[in-house]
């Protein structure tokens, strides 16, 4: 098998050949046919996150993320081998599945509650464990394999992170979806997924804030009723007049400016959800927090059940796929470089042989 490996933080990805994977116990082996390229792969390749205020979070053994890394957590492929204890029904060998990547230790209280994404000893595929930038991928148990039906496999792959991140964040906004306003900050790949998903689950009034006019146009095409350039005072005034304060704001960027804009845009009792990892910080008045009765929280990917719900929603035909670009798996290095330079509109998916 061939893997595309980050041998040291900050270095380019290199191909490495090794013997085929041999599953043991309940493990299964997936021959990768699609793998989405996610913006967080850039942070994982660099080895740090910018925290804002010139501070950095450095990745390493303490956090369970260290090279050599095989990135790629939006993995989909054909089930080709199973360990002796893997419960696989007849006819499932050879079928294609989507992988739930946000796997935990399986033992702790979070994992037992089905919130493996909150595990303190994560074993996430493409983050802590080898991922989908490879011919083959090892999954610890077939319970993490999801049947995606007749969905386009490239679209289905993007549900594992970009889709799930958007869906998980939307589930945290409690409001009247018929009348209240929802604000999406940042209309990149995940923000666009959120617009389409929000429509699918009944949000009627969706506003989008982005500085890029091309991305605002894509968001309106995906169903946003209103889009605003947060740097344009006249546009912001119009946005405030129309929405009279939003019930929910989801920040898919995570810069200081986007968080400030989103928190300021809330109506009383509204909820701000932080998702993006660009790096920023903000100061909040403890008094205004109370007087405005607002909720400020975050959302990190989602659970296995969330992903199953999302796949079912997509299979019902309610979610329109994003603009997508395909590239051969062997081009992963240039794919990441293009994402880093902001040249990808929508979502980039690698195709395995």
Looking at beta carbons only, is 193 or 196 nearer to Zn ion? Answer: 193
Measured from the CB of residue 73, what is the shortest distance to Zn ion in angstroms? Answer: 6
CB of 117 to Zn ion, least distance (A): 10
Residues with Cβ within 8 Å of 234's Cβ and at least 6 positions away in sequence, in order, are none
The phi, psi pair for 142, rounded to 5°, reads -65, -10
Nearest to 298 by CA among 111, 132, 173: 173
- Measured between alpha carbons, how far is 137 from 141 in angstroms, rounded to an integer? 12
Shortest Å, Cβ 41 to Zn ion? 7
Give the nearest distance from C-beta 35 to Zn ion in angstroms.
11
Pairing, β 295-298 against β 266-274: parallel
Nearer to Zn ion, 270 or 321 (CB): 321
Question: The tokens of 246 are what?
Answer: 């939003």
Q: Which is nearer to Zn ion, 136 or 158 (CB)?
A: 158
Interacting residue ranges for Zn ion, rule: CB under 5 A: 38, 40, 104-105, 108, 111, 119, 161
Q: In what order do the strands lie in the sheet with 226-228?
A: 226-228, 205-209, 181-185, 246-251, 266-274, 295-298
Those residues whose C-beta lies under 8 Å from the C-beta of residue 95, and which sit 6 or more positions away, are 78, 79, 147
Judged by beta carbon, residue 126 or residue 262, the one nearer Zn ion is 126
Contact 5, 31 (CB under 8 A): no
Quote the least distance from Cβ 297 to Zn ion, whole Å.
20
Least distance in Å: CB of 43 to Zn ion?
A: 10
Name which of 111 and 156 has its Cβ closer to Zn ion: 111
Separation of alpha carbons 186 and 259, rounded Å: 11
Of 119 and 249, which has the nearer Cβ to Zn ion? Answer: 119
Least spacing, CB of residue 47 vs Zn ion, in Å? 17
Taking the least distance from each CB to Zn ion, the nearer of 169 and 266 is 169
Positive or negative: CA dihedral 156, 158, 161, 165: negative
**Rounded distance between C-alpha atoms, residue 79 and residue 163, angstroms:** 22
Give strand pairing partners of 31. 78, 136
């Amino acid at each position: 098998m061939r893997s595309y490996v980050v041998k040291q933080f900050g270095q380019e990805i290199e191909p490495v050949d090794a013997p085929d994977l041999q599953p043991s116990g309940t493990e299964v082996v997936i021959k990768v046919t699609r793998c989405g390229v996610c913006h967080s792969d850039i942070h994982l390749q660099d080895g740090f996150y910018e925290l804002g205020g010139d501070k950095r979070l450095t990745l390493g053994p303490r956090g369970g993320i260290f090279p050599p890394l095989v990135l790629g957590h939006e993995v989909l492929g054909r089930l080709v081998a199973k360990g002796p204890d893997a419960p696989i029904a007849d006819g499932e060998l050879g079928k294609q599945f989507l992988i739930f990547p946000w796997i935990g230790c399986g033992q702790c209280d979070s994992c037992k509650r089905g919130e493996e994404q909150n595990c303190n000893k994560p074993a996430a595929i493409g983050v802590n464990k080898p991922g989908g930038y490879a011919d083959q991928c090892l999954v610890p148990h077939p319970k993490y394999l999801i049947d995606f039906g007749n969905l386009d496999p490239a679209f289905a792959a993007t549900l594992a992170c970009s889709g799930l991140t958007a869906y998980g964040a939307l589930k945290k906004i409690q409001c009247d979806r018929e009348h209240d306003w929802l604000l999406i900050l940042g209309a990149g790949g995940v923000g666009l997924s959120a617009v389409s998903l929000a429509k699918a689950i009944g949000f009627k009034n969706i506003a989008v804030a982005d500085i890029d006019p091309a991305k605002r146009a894509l968001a309106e095409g995906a169903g946003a009723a209103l889009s605003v350039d947060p740097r344009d005072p006249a546009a912001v005034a119009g946005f405030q007049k129309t929405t009279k304060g939003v019930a929910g704001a989801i920040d898919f960027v995570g810069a200081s400016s986007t968080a400030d804009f989103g928190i300021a845009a809330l109506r009383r009792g509204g909820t701000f959800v932080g998702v993006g990892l660009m790096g920023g910080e903000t100061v909040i008045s403890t008094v205004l927090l109370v007087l405005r009765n607002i909720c400020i929280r975050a959302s990190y990917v989602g659970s296995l059940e969330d992903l199953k719900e999302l796949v079912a929603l997509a299979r019902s035909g309610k979610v329109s796929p994003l603009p997508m670009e395909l590239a051969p798996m062997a081009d992963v290095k240039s794919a990441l470089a293009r994402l880093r330079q902001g040249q990808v509109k929508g979502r980039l998916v690698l195709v395995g042989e």
